[in-house]
Amino acid sequence: MPQRRVITGRSQEPRQRFAEELRKLRAANGTSLRALGERLGWDYSLFGKMEKGETLGSPEVVQALDTHYGTPGLLLALWEVAAGDHTQFRERYRRYMALEAEAVSLWHFAVSVLPGLLQTPGYAREVLAAGGLRGKELEQQVEARMGRRELLEGEDAPPFRTILSEAVLRMPLRDAEEWRGQLEYLAEAAGQPNVAMQVLPLSAGPHGLMNATVMFLRLANGRTVAYTENGYRGDLIEENATVERLQRAYDAMRDMALSPAESRKFVLAPLEEVLCDPST
C-alpha cells in the first residue's frame, strides 16, 4: 500500500496545532509578545505559554485574539477541539462570540449587571466572585473579560448602544473605591462617539425584557441575531420571527428610557454621592 501523502506540514495533534496557529498569526502580524500583551490587556507571558502549548488560555482570551488577528471563529474552533471537552464551551456561545466579532453594530439591554464590554476589572472581579469563582481561575476570567473591551476600541469599532435598567446603577459594589472607578469609566465610555448609553428608570414599570439581558448583533449581510442571558444560561437566537419580537420589545423599552444626555447625568449623580461621602 502506498504511503499516505502528507498534505500539510502542520501538526495534526489539536493542542499543538492550536499553538502553531497562534505563532503563525503573530509572526504574520509582526507583533512581539510584549506588544500583544499591551494591546490586548493581558500579561504577555500568557501568550508565550499558549504559543508553546503549555496552556490553552480561556475562551475569552482566544476570542480577543480572533478579533485582533481578524480571524473570527477560527481560533475558537481550534481551541474547542484542543480543549477536548465540547460541553465546556457550548456551540451556541462559540457561534455567538464569532458573530459578535463580525457585527457591524450592537445594541444591548442590561437587566441587573453592567455589560462585560463596559466593566472595569474591579467590577468584573466582584461579580465573578459572587458567581463562585476563586483564586487563579477568578483572575484569569477577569483578565479575559477585560480583553473583550477591545471590540469597542479603535477607528473601526462598531456602534454600540446599551440600555441599563436603573437597578444596575442602584446595586453598588461593596468596595466604594472600585464602584467610583466603575462609574467614572461608565461616564467616560458614554462619551465615545460609537457608544450610546441610556437608563431605563424603574418608574417606567414592567416591560417585555424585564427578565433577561439581551444583546442584538447586526451582521454585514443585514441580518440580526440575538443572544439572551439570565443567571444560569444563555441562548443564541437566529430565528427571524423571534428576533423581531425581541426587537419590538427593545424598541418599546427604548422609548421609555432617558435620553443619552439625561442618562449620563443619572450615572454621574451616584458618582457625586460617592465623592461626597465622608466615610470613603
* Number of Cβ atoms within 10 Å of the Cβ of 167: 14
* Number of Cβ atoms within 10 Å of the Cβ of 152: 17
Write out the three cell numbers for 250: 427593545
* Number of Cβ atoms within 10 Å of the Cβ of 84: 10
Say if CB 209 and CB 169 are below 8 A apart.
no
Phi first, then psi: give them for residue 131, nearest 5 degrees.
-85, 0
Predicted structure pTM score: 0.67
Residue with cell 476570567: 141
**Comparing 48-52, 69-73, 267-271, which segment has the lowest mean pLDDT?**
267-271
How far are the Cα atoms of 153, 207, 234 from residue 244, in angstroms, in the given order? 29, 16, 18
- The predicted pLDDT at position 6 comes to 35
The C-alpha atoms of residue 172 and residue 91 are separated, in whole angstroms, by: 34
- The predicted pLDDT at position 92 comes to 64
Burial status of residue 202 (CB atoms within 10 A of its CB: 0-12, 13-18, 19 or more): exposed
Average pLDDT over residues 35-60: 85
| Higher per-residue pLDDT: 145 or 267 | 267
**Comparing 196-205, 225-234, 252-261, which segment has the lowest mean pLDDT?**
225-234
How far are the Cα atoms of 100, 133, 244, 246 from residue 239, in angstroms, in the given order? 17, 34, 9, 11
Write out the three cell numbers for 238: 437566529
Residue 52, helix vs strand vs coil: coil
- The predicted pLDDT at position 40 comes to 87
* Number of Cβ atoms within 10 Å of the Cβ of 199: 24
Residue with cell 479575559: 144
Say if CB 208 and CB 143 are below 8 A apart.
no
Residue 236, helix vs strand vs coil: strand
| pLDDT single digits (tens) 147-172 | 878 888 888 899 999 999 999 999 99
| pLDDT single digits (tens) 57-85 | 778 788 889 989 998 888 988 887 777 64
Q: How many residues would you count in the chain?
A: 280
Q: For residue 219, give every residue at least 6 positions away whose Cβ sits within 8 Å of its Cβ, in sequence order, or none.
A: 99, 102, 103, 104, 225
The average confidence (pLDDT) of the chain is: 85
DSSP 8-state class, residue 223: -
Q: 161 forms bridges with which residues in the sheet?
A: 107, 196
- The predicted pLDDT at position 33 comes to 93
